[in-house]
Amino acid sequence: MDTPSEGGAEGSLRLPAVTIFLSAFLLFQVQPVVGKLVLPWFGGSAGVWTTCLLFFQSLLLLGYLYSHLVVRHLSHLGQIRLHGGLLLAALLTLPLRLHALFQPSGGGEPLGRLLGLLTLTVGLPYLVLSTTGPLVQAWVARQGRVPYRLFALSNLASMLALVSYPLLVEPFLPLKTQSWLWSAGFVTFCGLVFTLARRNAHEVRNPAVEEAASGTPMPSQKLLWIAFAAVPSMLLMAVTTHLSTNVAPIPFLWVLPLGLYLLSFILCFEGTRWYQRGLYLGLLPVFLVLMSMSLRPDFRWLDYRFETLSLIAHWLGSVRGQVLLFNAGLFLACMVAHGELARRRPHPRFLTGFYLRLSLGGALGGIFVAFLAPRMFTTYLELPLGLAAAGAVAALSLGWDLGPRQRGDRPIAVLLGTLALALGIHAFRLDRDADKITLARGRNFYGTLAVFDNPEHTWRSLAHGTITHGGQFLDPVKAQRPATYYSLDSGVGLALASLKEPPRKLGLVGLGAGSLAAYGRPGDRIRFYEINPLVEPFARKYFTYLGQGKAATEVVLGDARLTLEAEPPQGYDLLAIDAFSGDAIPVHLLTREAFALYFRHLAPGGILAVHVSNRYLDLKPVVRASVDAFGRRARVVDTESDQEEGTFGSTWVLMSEEDSFFTLPAFLDSEDVKPLPAKALVWRDDFSNLFRVLK
C-alpha cells in the first residue's frame, strides 16, 4: 500500500515517541500493580486477574473510541483543550489506593464490586493513558508521517513494563512504593502530553495526507479486523485462566502470556520481515492439536500406546511442559492473527478507526471469557473453543485472499477449516473421562467445581479445576474416615489427636468436601470459613462429613481474612488454614499481618495448622518468618500418598506457643514430624516475592 513518507527530521518524532513509550509503559505496569492490590479482597482467585483484564480491555476500547471521535469531530485546538481537562481530572485521583466502599462482604457475587473498585482506583488515569497511543499517532499522521512503527514502539514499552514487574519491581518494592512511583510517572506523562500538545498546536496540517489516502475500507474488512483481534484476546485470557487455576494466581503467570501477546504486536507492526506467513501457518496446526489433546484428563495415554513418544507426553503433561506448550501455542496464534492484521492495515487517515476495531475485538474476546463463559459453561470450555477459533481465523486469512494467484493455498485453507471444526467438536468431548463418573459440575467467579465417582463407585472426590479439594469413601464403614490431605497421620490429624478432650472449638479456613468435620466429637464446635458459595451445597449434597459429623458445624461465607478481621477473638483450640486457589494458598493468607490475625483468634495453648502442600512453590520459609516473628514453636509434618487408604501426600506446618506440645505421643511416634527449615522469607500485605519460593 502506498503511504506517505515519514520524512522530516527524526527529532520531530522524538517527543511523540517518548510520550507514547511512557504512556504504554505506565498502562501495562499498572495492571499487575492493581491486580495485586485488589487480589486479597477477592480471595486470591484466578477470576480476579481475568476480571482485571476485562476491565482494562474495556477501558482501552473506550479510550480508542474517544480518540477516534475527537480526531473526527474536533479541531486540533479543541482536542488539546478536552484532553488537557481529562489529564487534570485524572491527576486528582492519585495516588493509587483501595476504597473501602467496594470492600466485599459475605459470599455474594463479587464481580460488580471488583469492577467498581477498579473504576474508582485506576479508571480515569487508565482511560487517559489508553487514549494516548492513537491520539498522538493521529497528530503525527496529520503531519504526513506514517505512525505505525509508533504502534510497535508502544507495544514494546508495554512488554517491558510487564517483564520488569516480576523481575525488578515486585521482588524489591512494597505495593505502597509501587503506587507512589507509578503516580509520579503519570505526572511526568502529563507534562509530556502538555508539551507535545502545545508544540503541535502551531503546526500546519499536511494536505498530502488526505490526497494520498486510499478509499474507505469496506465493512467486510472492518469485521475482519475485529475477528483477528478478538481471537488472540480470547486465547490470552483463557490460557491465563488455565495456568493460574492449575498452578497459582501469581503475577508471573499473568505477565508471561500477556507479554507474548504484546510481542506479537511488536513484531508484526514493526516491519514485514518478522511475520513469515508460511512458517507460522505451518506450525500453528501442530500446536493447536497438542494443546487440545493436553486438556484431556487421559492425555498420558501416549505413554502406553507409543513408547517412542512417552517422554514427550510425560513432559508435556508436567507443569513446565504445560506452561511452555500453552504460551508457545498462544504466541503462534497471536502471530498469525496480528500478522494478518498488519498485512491489512489501512492508510493512516483511517488509523483511529483501525485501532478502535482492534480494541473492540480485544474487548469482545475478554467479555466472552470473563463474563459469558462462566454463565454458559460449567467447565473451562473457552480454552478449547479458543483453539478452534484460532484455526478458523487462520483458515479465514487464507480463504479471504484466494484469487488466481493464490489457488495453491486452497488445500491449506480447507485443511485449517477442517481442523477448526474438529477442535470445536473435540472441545465438547473433553469432559468425558473413562476413569471418572461425573455427578455434578458448577462454575462461578471463583472457578469450576466438579464431583466425580470412580467407575466402581467406591470413591468420590471434589475437584476445583484439576486440583482435588477433598474426597470420601462410599463404603459406609469407611465413609467417616478422614481422607485425602486430612488423614489421621497428616499434620492436622496429629494436631487434632493431641488436643484436649471435648468440648473443643475448631476454626477451619476452607471447606472443600468438609473432611475435617470427621474429627468432630460430641460437644465440639466447628466453624468453617469458605469464600465460594458453590462449595457448601456440593459438600452437603454429595458428601456426608458435614451431615453425619458428631460436632456442631457452621459455614461462614466470605473471604476468611476479611471475616476474621471483623470478628472478635474466637478462642480456637485449633485454627487450620486450608484455603487453596488452584494449587496454592492465596498470598494474602500467608503474610505477617495474616498470621497476627490467626494468633489473635487462638485460645491460650491453641494450635495453628497451615497446609502448604504445593507442587511448584516451597512455602515453608514464608511460614518460618512468621514463626520467628511471633516467637512460636513449629514442626513440619510431611506425609506420602497411600491410594488404598485414600490419602494424598501433604505438608502441614504446626505452630504452638510451647515446645512441650510436640513431645506428646502423637508426634514422638511419627517419623513424618520434622523441624521447620531455618530459611525464612518475610511476606507482608504490601510485599511478597513468589520467585524466591519456586521449587
pLDDT tens by residue, 180-204: 999 999 999 999 988 887 776 655 4
Q: State residue 209's pLDDT score.
A: 44
The span from the CA of 284 to the CA of 387, in Å, is 10
> Is residue 465 predicted with pLDDT exceeding 80?
no
Region 666-694 average pLDDT:
84
What are the tens digits of pLDDT across the range 609-618? 999 987 777 8
> Is residue 380 predicted with pLDDT exceeding 60?
yes
Region 19-31 average pLDDT:
92
Q: State residue 347's pLDDT score.
A: 78
The span from the CA of 91 to the CA of 119, in Å, is 15
Domains of the chain: 12-212 (1.20.1250), 215-432 (1.20.1250), 485-693 (3.40.50.150)
* 126-135, 143-152, 400-409, 673-682: least confidently modelled range: 400-409
Q: State residue 140's pLDDT score.
A: 77
Q: State residue 695's pLDDT score.
A: 66
How large a percentage of the chain has pLDDT more than 70? 85
Question: For residue 9, what pLDDT band results from cuts at 50, 70 and 90?
Answer: very low
> Is residue 329 predicted with pLDDT exceeding 80?
yes
Is the pLDDT higher at 573 or at 213?
573
CB atoms within 10 A of CB 223: 12
What are the tens digits of pLDDT across the range 230-280? 999 999 989 988 887 765 556 567 778 888 998 898 888 877 778 888 888
CB atoms within 10 A of CB 413: 20
- Which residue has cell 475485529? 226
Q: State residue 434's pLDDT score.
A: 55
> Is residue 582 predicted with pLDDT exceeding 60?
no
pTM for this prediction: 0.78
Question: For residue 404, what pLDDT band results from cuts at 50, 70 and 90?
Answer: very low
Is the pLDDT higher at 611 or at 659?
611
Q: In terms of Cα–Cα distance, which of 332, 253, 329 is closest to 293? A: 329
Q: State residue 213's pLDDT score.
A: 47
Question: For residue 319, what pLDDT band results from cuts at 50, 70 and 90?
Answer: low
Q: CA distances (Å), 33 to each of 24, 197, 261, 599, in order?
A: 15, 29, 19, 29
Q: State residue 313's pLDDT score.
A: 63
CB atoms within 10 A of CB 375: 8
Q: How do strand 633-639 and strand 505-509 relate by DSSP bridges?
A: unpaired
Q: CA distances (Å), 123 to each of 103, 120, 128, 275, 300, in order?
A: 17, 6, 9, 35, 45
Q: State residue 455's pLDDT score.
A: 86
Q: State residue 247's pLDDT score.
A: 59
* 188-202, 252-266, 345-359, 396-410: least confidently modelled range: 396-410
Region 385-391 average pLDDT:
88
What are the tens digits of pLDDT across the range 49-90? 778 888 988 898 898 889 888 888 888 788 888 888 999 999
- At 124, which amino acid appears? L
Is the pLDDT higher at 204 or at 597?
597
CB atoms within 10 A of CB 470: 29
Q: State residue 493's pLDDT score.
A: 94
Q: CA distances (Å), 16 to each of 29, 272, 537, in order?
A: 20, 23, 57
Helix axes 46-73, 76-91, angle to 10 degrees: 150
Mean pLDDT of the chain: 83
N- to C-terminal Cα separation, the chain:
52
Region 115-141 average pLDDT:
87
The span from the CA of 29 to the CA of 20, in Å, is 14
Q: In terms of Cα–Cα distance, which of 13, 5, 44 is closest to 510? A: 44
* 41-55, 412-426, 454-468, 572-586: least confidently modelled range: 412-426
Is the pLDDT higher at 637 or at 312?
637
Question: If residue 656 lies in a helix (H) or strand (E), which one and from where to where?
Answer: strand 650-656
Beta partners for 463?
450, 468
Q: State residue 212's pLDDT score.
A: 46
Q: State residue 106's pLDDT score.
A: 65
> Is residue 526 predicted with pLDDT exceeding 50?
yes
Q: CA distances (Å), 593 to each of 159, 587, 600, 682, 686, in order?
A: 33, 11, 11, 11, 10
